[in-house]
Amino acid sequence: MNWTEIEDDLRKRLSPKRFKHTQNVVEVAHQLADRFGCDQQQVRLAALLHDCAKHLTDQQQLDYAKKHHLNIDPVCQNDPQLLHGPVAAVLASERYGIKDPAILKAIECHTTGSKNMTTLDKIIYLADYIEKDRCFPGVDAIRQMAESDLDRATIMALTNCICHVAETEALLHQNTIEARNDLIIKQKNILYKSN
Ligand SMILES: [Fe+2]
Ligand SMILES: [Fe+2]
């Protein structure tokens, strides 16, 4: 499918609110790609498709994940919407014909983050978090950091997510902790080497 075909398909399948969110993510991801130097084609496609499985119910997420042999850890088993990233990556490949592994990985890890996030992964994670309709305590500070420092803005978004999940007593996925630790360790190493 080309861009317009994918967009038309998503407009039909996602709720109007989710589709608007998707358009907002494409817009801010495009800006972040310009700012931090990332391939626009990859960024725009990953942003467009990141929530292409968000309309599925918990049971459908689990069924789809099982059918495609995705890893269903105990946290995902108990909070199946955490699977909408990995499920979306399979859908992006099978339904929309996206075969670029870099795009698929960014879609896959957009909800939880992951270890060794690429610039593309960070841009999609962050764009999803700070798109213009997002409104929660701390979002403006993250938007401001995203004007100049992609890694620090991503760390702030991961931290905010972890605090929110802890406060609401929801399940925290281990990939989110790993993503944050990994980025912080890399930042410390950069600081250490430059001193
Ligand atoms: Fe999502
Ligand atoms: Fe999203």
In this model, does residue 123 exceed pLDDT 90? yes
Give the count of beta carbons closer than 10 Å to the beta carbon of residue 118.
15
Length of the chain: 195
* CA geometry: angle 110, 115, 121, nearest 5 deg: 35
For residue 97 the two structure tokens come to 């014909």
CA of 192 to the centre of ligand 2 (A): 35
Q: Which ligand is nearest to the CA of 20?
A: 2
In this model, does residue 195 exceed pLDDT 70? no
* pLDDT tens-digit readout, 50-88: 999 999 999 999 999 999 999 999 999 999 999 999 999
CA of 18 to the centre of ligand 1 (A): 9
Give the count of beta carbons closer than 10 Å to the beta carbon of residue 84.
25
In this model, does residue 33 exceed pLDDT 70? yes
The pLDDT, as a whole number, for residue 163 is 97
For residue 174 the two structure tokens come to 């281990």
CA of 132 to the centre of ligand 2 (A): 12
Measured CA to CA, the distance from residue 182 to residue 105 in angstroms comes to 17
Confidence of residue 91 (pLDDT cuts 50, 70, 90): very high
CA of 131 to the centre of ligand 1 (A): 12
The mean pLDDT of 15-19, rounded to a whole number, is: 97
Long-range contacts of 137-140 (CB under 8 A, 24+ apart): none
CA of 142 to the centre of ligand 1 (A): 18
Q: Which ligand is nearest to the CA of 127?
A: 2
Q: Which ligand is nearest to the CA of 128?
A: 2
> Domain locations in the chain?
3-194
* CB distance 102 to 38 below 8 Å: no
Q: Which ligand is nearest to the CA of 88?
A: 1
CA of 110 to the centre of ligand 1 (A): 6
Q: Which ligand is nearest to the CA of 18?
A: 2
The pLDDT, as a whole number, for residue 190 is 80
Q: Which ligand is nearest to the CA of 111?
A: 1
Confidence of residue 192 (pLDDT cuts 50, 70, 90): confident
Q: Which ligand is nearest to the CA of 82?
A: 1
Measured CA to CA, the distance from residue 89 to residue 91 in angstroms comes to 5
* CA geometry: angle 187, 191, 194, nearest 5 deg: 140
CA of 67 to the centre of ligand 2 (A): 23
CA of 115 to the centre of ligand 1 (A): 18
- Does the domain at 3-194 match CATH 1.10.3210.10? Answer given as yes
Confidence of residue 166 (pLDDT cuts 50, 70, 90): very high
Measured CA to CA, the distance from residue 110 to residue 126 in angstroms comes to 8
* Residue 103: exposure state from Cβ atoms within 10 A (0-12, 13-18, ≥19): buried
